[in-house]
Structures are given as C-alpha cells and as structure tokens.
Structure 1
C-alpha cells in the first residue's frame, strides 16, 4: 500500500502558520482532513519542542445537528480522557469561526501506520497481546462511563513509545445511548452487521423498530482490530449481505476464518464469540480479557509473513488485492481477505 499523501485543508480552514490560543500555539502541520474538520500538529511557541494535536471544527454553515454532535464529542471525550489509554483532551478553544480541541500529539502516528508501514507487531505474540489489552482497558473504561465509541479502527488509535502504548481518540461518532437507531455509523470495515443493515438488527430486536447495541457494536469492531493487529488485513469489506466473504463466514462461522487468515485455533475460538451474529451472544470485555490470558500464539504454525501482511501457506506467491477473488475450499468463489486499506477517518460516517 502506498504511503498516505500529505492532506491539505480547505480554504475555509486555518492555514499552516496560524497562531491560536492568544498566540500561544502555532499550527505547523496538517495531520488529517475529513468531513469532521482538520487535525493539525501545533507547537507551544514558548516551548517549541512540545507538540499538540489540534482538531479544528468549522462553525461556518454548521447545521444545528452538527453543532449538537460537536458538543457531544467534546463532552464525551473530556469525560473519558482521564484514562491513560484514551488520548488526553487538554482544553477547548472557542473562536468566532472555529472550535479547537487541543489533545496529546502522537509522534508515532496511529495504529494503522504502525501495522501497515512499520510492521511493528508482526509475528510478536507478546506485543500484540499487550497492545490489545491496553485497547480493551480503554474501551471498558469508556463503557463503564456509559460511553460507546462506535468508530474503533486503527486510524482512531494513536501510538506512543514506538507503538508500545496506545490510546483511543476521535469521539466524533460516540454515543451515550445504550440502544441506538443510528445505522451505518462508523467505518464500513469495522461496523457490525446490525449497525450496517437494519435487516440484521430486526432479527435480534423489535422487528417493527429495529435497534442495535452500541456497546456490542464496539465488541465487533474490536474483533476486526485484533485481526488487523495480527494479520495486517481485514477479513471482509463489509459485514453485509452484499459481501460474499462475510456470507461465507456466516455459513460456517466456527471454521471459516482460518481458511482465509493465518490465525491460531485459540484466536479463532475467541473471534467466533466476538463476531457472533446475535450481538446478545458476543463476549464481554471481562470474558475477552480472561480468554486472551490463555492464548499462547495468535498465528497458525505455517504462517507466512510477507511485507506488512501475514498469509496462509496456500497464499505463498499470491498478490493480495482488494478486488481479487479466489476459490476457497468450499468450492465457491468468495472475495479473499483484503489488505488493511483505509484512510484517515475518510470512511467513518453516520447516517443520522
């Protein structure tokens, strides 16, 4: 996968070199651009070695719903940021045209970068377990406060200490609702089937008024992140009726994943429970933490490491492509597990 290109803010957003916070912070670099706004790296002009990440939310042409969403994002992030594995929100600056959210800056980038461009965790069972347990701690803490992230993915997990410490960020789609009707909220790769499609939600809620659990939607997302960490790949493009790989998984959930990804039987057993179609049957985080304690290896014995990805032995010499398909042992054509392809929050969205 090619490196991320340098993002550029729109003409409506502050340009690099702008001073904010009464001249105390200078915006020196654009880190990301999305529908939510722009994220900059800023330096303290009194101590230039000290950097912050500054998220800029544009007031111009904001709808009432967007204003409420921004207020909710800031409030929920402030509540959760006391945890060491949640990115600290230091302060919020209100100006006439912008709201600036000043947060910790992660010099090691996000988990996406560490997985794909650094291969930081590849083949290292100990580090994978330690990093994922930190993520579990952060999400469990948020859940204990009644905060459900709804957009857990590698781009929203920042890395420190050369990738050994991680912290959750971007609460733009988070909710405090225990039950939600906001479908198609988050990144399509990491979204649960009941969040993606009301038809799946109807199976396990009121058919006339389908809903889903944001808490257990997070559990589903954590399962995909665990596969990202381990293999550098996504198991399918979307957990939907339109995705042939996901449909193949539903036909044989106990045995399918090890046929397309080089994971160990013990990790497969955990993933099967995290990816239960009925969200009421999914693992809780305490159950997941106990199960992980017993894991010796995340990989099957004949795993092949190729660049940033882990492959099954039968994939040796095969070029992995998002658009490629191949025949599985079932004798049916299904899309092969895809490379971990996404961009800075570009795929995260809410239908609300």
Structure 2
C-alpha cells in the first residue's frame, strides 16, 4: 500500500519528472519544509542548486488554499527585483506543493548577524546592505504589496555576503489598512499592529513595514533590539515613549543615527518617516556609531553595550560538509568540485555558540534606572488567524526516509526572464486538479 507523502521525509526524492533531486533539509516551520535541490539537467557540473519549499496542499475552498495562492502570486509579482528572492516555478504532486526559488548559501540574516557581527564600525557596508533591504520593501510597496513579517529570519544573504534578498510573503497583503492585529512577529511589530489599544480601528501596513525596518537597522548597528514589544507594558518601550532620546542614551549609536530612529519609531504612524526620506537620511549619514571618546563620556549602559558588541570575539559561522557526504548522485563526481562555500569544516567540528536567549538582559554594573536593552531575539509569528488550519501543521521533522518511487508532477520549469509576464497564468495553473497518471513534458 502506498504511503501518503509528507513534507518532512523527502530527502533523496525527485520532483519535476526527475529533474530536481532533494538532497538536504535546510529549514522547517509550521507550514512546511525547505529542501536544497540539485538541477540534474545542468549541462556541466556542478549542478545548479535551488531551494524548494514543500507545503502540504490545502483543501479546496479553504482559507489555507487562498493564502498559498496569494503567497505565490505576491512573490511572483515582485521577484524581478534584485533584492527579492526569485521564484522560478511551483510544482505539485498529489499531496504537496513545491515552491522552487533561488538558493542562498549564505543563510538567513538572523544567523548572519548573530554569528558574524559584520557591521561593527563599517558604515559603508551597513549602508549597502540596509539600502538593499529598504529598496526591496519599497519595490513591494510600489506594487501595493505590504509584507507584514519583515524580520532577519525572512531575509537571505548571498555566499559572499554582498547581497540580501527579502523572502517569505506568506503574511503579505495588498490592503494598505488592516484590522488583522498581531499579524507578524511581535518583536518587529509597530504598537498599532500589536493592537493593545482597543480604540484603534486598524493600522497602516505600510508604516508597520517601516517600523520593522527600524528594528532591523538597530540590530545591524549595535546587535540589540530596542525592546521586546512596542507596548507601554514593556519597560524599554515605555522609557522611549517618555524620552525619544532613550536609544541614544543607552546604546552606542551616533546622534545622527538616533535622529533616524526617532523618525522611524514615531508613535503616530502618519508622522513616521517615509521610505524615500529614510533612504535619503541613511545615505547622508556620516556614521551610525559613537566614537570611542563619546562612549567614554556616556552612561554605563552605553559603555557596557559597546564593550559587548565591539570588543568580544566573534564566533565563526557554521560551515557545510562537502556535497558527497549528503547524497550520491549517479553520474556526478564532486570530489574536486563541491557546492559548499569555501572553508568547509569537518562534520565533527563543534557547533557555533548559539545566540543569547532573548530574556538575557545586558548586565550593567552601575545602578542606572534606565531599563537595559536586550539582545536580538528570534521572532515568533503571532498570526493565529492567518495560519493554515491545524491539519496543515507538521512538527517533529523526520530526517530518515524509506525508498520510494519518484514523485510524479505536471509542471514545467520556466526561466526567470519569462516569469514576470507569466506569473498570473502560473498562479492559476498550479492549483488545477492533479492527475497522478498524467505528466506534462
């Protein structure tokens, strides 16, 4: 008897009529699993890599199906931008959808920030990367697409760390004004999106994205988020509401950078800085960082944060094993040409130090009444009304699998050049009824 396919045990399986081979699990979440795939139709080794997001097919007529269709449509609309992850195609079998995108071997931006601290005292590099992210968000807004879940985990980075790519449009919307409070990841939500003020009739999704960019910018400058949640119950946010210079008094950021954050974190959404103006302010700033002399004359909070962020050794990021350790592909020899980045370590090497827990406060020796800023947390989605039904959730990923026949699919593999013109037709076609005995070539 055939066993029903799941998203969590497909390593070693083929999709796209044998063209793509799933070789490794590279990510997982409540809605599905992301695999690294090889394109076996590549003419010369090594084969091209893709990231394949596998999600269970939602029942017809369900809200989950609507969300799946919408996520594909939104990403296809904007993925021609150089800083938005390219969507190549969507493949389906009887049980799952496979969303095929570019693979970014640099990993996600959260891990990059935690393991490398790459922007310390590097204004030019910080500007370059942040403006790429800002331009990606502005490109979405120009298409009336508002992301609503901008966070480091939803940003990918290239192997050479010179390009970033916005991804995961599962919570995006075309509504400039939303009443879906709490949609996104709470550490990056604006106060009006969190929805603690019951008198609000909704919030601006555009301004909510601007707020999230501000949280990310601060973490790039000094490795901290400004607060846990932007509510008056949070001591750090309450201190900021009372004194808009609070961040400049507790973190080693320059006066010009502090002015940017005052404009981004305006409590009144309509007074918040626009993306074009924010871009201009970032371009014109001389430095985001305090000088050593300014730090020496600042509070103990600033001195402590500077010592931790600027002086501590940086842990080495994790490295990938050679491809031949993952899986054997008949007809391919990877002995001299692996697909992992340079400096691959042996699999027995100890893992890198994990990022500090969000509840670990910055320790200050002096008795300063100002609440301490906390380290960058890993965001959690708080969008229960937007999630697929419980039946769609798959936890406890299985890495082992039994041999199985190749998954039969019926989708083509279009090039990026034709995607912009064809994405609407693609979105409509991928949800046609599946026939397991028919395959398109």
Quick one: distance in 1 between partners of 2:14 and 2:102? 18
Q: Is 2:209 aligned against 1:218?
A: yes
Q: Give 1:326 deviation, angstroms.
A: 6.2
Please state how far the C-alpha of 1:60 moved relative to its aligned partner.
6.1
How many Å apart are 1:61 and its aligned residue?
A: 6.8
What is the number of residues matched between the two proteins? 326
- Could you tell me how far 1:168 is from its partner in structure 2? 0.4
Residue by residue, what CA displacement relative to the aligned partner does 1:181-217 show, whole Å, maximum 9, x if unpaired?
01111111111111112407x3xxxx4xx10011100
What aligned pairs does 1:94-173 form with structure 2 within 5 A after superposition? 94-173=92-171
Separation in structure 2 between the aligned mates of residue 284 and residue 251 of structure 1, nearest angstrom: 23
Report if aligned partners of 1:120, 1:163 keep a CA contact under 8 Å in 2: no
Partner residue of 2:383? 350
Q: Does the 8 Å CA contact 2:37/2:50 hold for their aligned counterparts?
A: yes
Residue equivalent to 2:218: 227
Conservation of the 8 A alpha-carbon contact between 2:362 and 2:375: no
Report 1 or 2 for greater relative contact order, CA contacts < 8 Å, sequence distance ≥ 6: 2
Question: Structure 2 vs 1, CA of residues 304 and 17 (structure 1 numbering), >3 Å: closer, same or farther?
Answer: farther
Where does structure 2 lack aligned partners over 5 or more consecutive residues?
Answer: 296-300, 313-355, 386-441
Q: Specify whether residues 94 and 166 from structure 1 end up closer, same or farther in structure 2 by C-alpha distance, changes over 3 A only.
A: same
Paired residues of 2:59 and 2:65 also in contact (CA < 8 A): no
- Cα distance in 2 between the residues matched to 1:268 and 1:156: 25
Question: Residues 286-316 of structure 1: CA distance to partner in whole angstroms, max 9, x if unpaired?
Answer: 11111112101111113999xxxxx831447
CA distance in 2, matches of 1:32, 1:304: 42
Q: Distance in 2 between matches of 1:13 and 1:303?
A: 53
Q: How many angstroms apart in 1 are the aligned matches of 2:382 and 2:246? A: 29
- Say if 2:374 is the partner of 1:338: yes
Q: 1:228 to 1:316 in 2, by over 3 A?
A: closer
Q: What is the correspondence of 1:1-352 to structure 2 with a 5 Å cutoff?
A: 13-47=8-42, 48-59=46-57, 64-199=62-197, 202=199, 207=200, 210-253=201-244, 255-302=245-292, 312-315=302-305, 322-324=359-361, 332=369, 334=371, 336-342=372-378, 347-352=380-385
Q: Answer with 1 or 2: which has the greater Rg.
A: 2
Query: Which digits, 9 at most, give the CA deviation of each residue in 1:17-65, with x for residues without a partner?
Result: 1211111111111121111211111111233531111111112679811
Give the deviation of 1:97 after TM superposition.
0.4
1:44 & 1:213 partners in 2: Cα distance?
41
TM-score by length of 1: 0.85
CA RMSD of aligned residues (A): 2.6
Does the 8 Å CA contact 1:302/1:312 hold for their aligned counterparts?
no
Shift in alpha-carbon separation, 1:15–1:32, aligned structure 2, 3 A: same
Deviation, structure 1 residue 260: 2.2
Gaps of 5+ in 1: 1-9, 306-310
d(CA) in 2 for partners of 1:333 and 1:229? 22
Query: Structure 1: how far apart are the matches of 2:174 and 2:30?
Result: 22
TM-score by length of 2: 0.69
Contact kept in structure 1, 2:32 and 2:56, CA below 8 Å:
yes
Higher strand fraction: Structure 1 or Structure 2? 1
Distance 1:69 1:329, change over 3 A: farther
